[in-house]
A and B are shown apart, each in its own frame.
Chain A
Amino acid sequence: MPTLRDIKRRIKAVHSTSKITKAMKMVAASKFRKAQQRMFEMRPYADRMSAVLSSLAGGAESEIHPLLSVRPRKNVDIIVLTSDRGLCGAFNSNILRVASKHISNLKKEGFEVNVSAIGRKAVDYFKRRNVPLKKSWTGISGRISYANAQEIAADIIERYTNETTDEIILAYNEFKSVAAQKVVVTRLLPLASIEATAETLPVFNFIYEPSKEDIFNNLLPKNVEIQIFRALLESQASEEAARMSAMENATKAANDMINSLTLQYNKARQASITKELMDIVGGVEALKG
């Protein structure tokens, strides 16, 4: 039976924990709003970009640009996008679980798999499991800029163009709603959207200026950048949303704990008062006798 003082100390400790989680929730909420706004601002651009690409691709041959060429798959790159910081519920473990499964499936099918990681959590995870990382980027989440996406895109475009790899897959958390994030495993290269829509769209005879090659040279790498940028922003918004609900749950749990501890405290106090009274009454009775 813990003493009164022990219980009181615990209540105090839990209370200060709940203060921290509450504050973290508020911080996450404000960061989330910012991230969400950026994500929404980004969406029309990304949508238009893929629309332009698919209407152009109707008249494009795959030889026109290395990024459009589809090779037989042998080497597969997978990029895993997580956060740098923890305390965001199952956000990181979800994505790492799905990614690991994906990697082992690919390996079973006989592909050569190279793993890259974005975010400290992914880097640590793969290091612990002795998975060699081709490339890792950390310190991005929190202040994502377009330059980050450009850097990552430049790297994977190079790897794809010099045929180090035949396919590049990105695993990230897509933002569904504040309460739900969905792990998405999507193919970045070869450009999937084009391939899928090439047959269904009418072929326009576009006039290209300066030239078709120049446009594609410009547009295709840009599209990769945009897709990565979008994934970064989605992941950021998901992370903050996940942290928000994780911290809310933590605050709730702390409050529940305070309640049950307070009950315990009151019971113990009552018990000690009763015991003291019994002592006094017992003493009085003894004196009477």
Chain B
Amino acid sequence: MAEGKLLLEIVTPYGLVTSEEVDEVTAAGSEGEFGVLPGHVPYVTTLKIGMLICKKGNETKFFFVNWGYAEVGAEKVLILADSAERSDGIDVERAKEAMKRAEERLKKAEDIDFHRAETSLERAATRIQISQMRIPK
């Protein structure tokens, strides 16, 4: 492991999403966004639906993370997510459909699991948003 690098690992029950060395990681914790640089103190947090950004040199990558946990150590960031995708691997069509479905369910109101509909709406919206992220020039 190179000095001054972080090993970022994102795993989901559907497989290893990524395992790579990066310089910096920013993720959406349940208590707010947090950034990690090499040498971070041991830290454990739950994650909410959101975006994870990692930087390596000039390269920036975006990931969609759907719930989970982050275990941060001095030289590694381990993300255990329910699901996760790289920004270019997001199925936008599917997300749009999910969004439509969730919106319809919310409109009908009553008799629905409000929380579930809301969560899937949030998930879909975040997915779409992240899929459009481009590296800031």
Contacts and interface: CB of A to CB of B under 8 A. Distances in A.
A48 B70 CA distance: 11
Interface in A196-253: 204-210, 214-215, 218-219, 226, 229
Contacts of A55: 71
B42 A41 contact: no
Chain A interface, >50% SS class: helix
23 contacts: A41-B15, A42-B13, A44-B11, A45-B11, A45-B15, A48-B11, A48-B80, A52-B71, A52-B80, A55-B71, A56-B44, A146-B13, A206-B42, A206-B44, A207-B43, A208-B45, A209-B29, A209-B30, A210-B30, A210-B31, A210-B45, A226-B13, A229-B13
Contact of B13 (A45, A208, A218): A45
A49 interface: yes
Interface string B1-39: 000000001011111100000000000011100000000
B78 to A, nearest CB: 6
How many A residues are at the interface, by size bracket? Answer: 20 to 34
B44 A215 contact: yes
B14 A209 contact: no
Contacts of B14: 38, 41-42
Q: Which 8 A-B pairs have the closest CB atoms?
A: A41-B15, A209-B45, A204-B42, A45-B11, A207-B43, A206-B42, A44-B16, A206-B44
A218 B46 contact: yes
A218 B80 CA distance: 12
B41 interface: yes
Given A52-B44, A205-B42, A206-B44, 19 more contacts: A41-B14, A42-B14, A44-B16, A45-B11, A45-B80, A48-B11, A49-B80, A52-B78, A56-B44, A146-B13, A207-B42, A209-B44, A209-B45, A210-B31, A210-B45, A215-B44, A218-B69, A226-B13, A229-B13
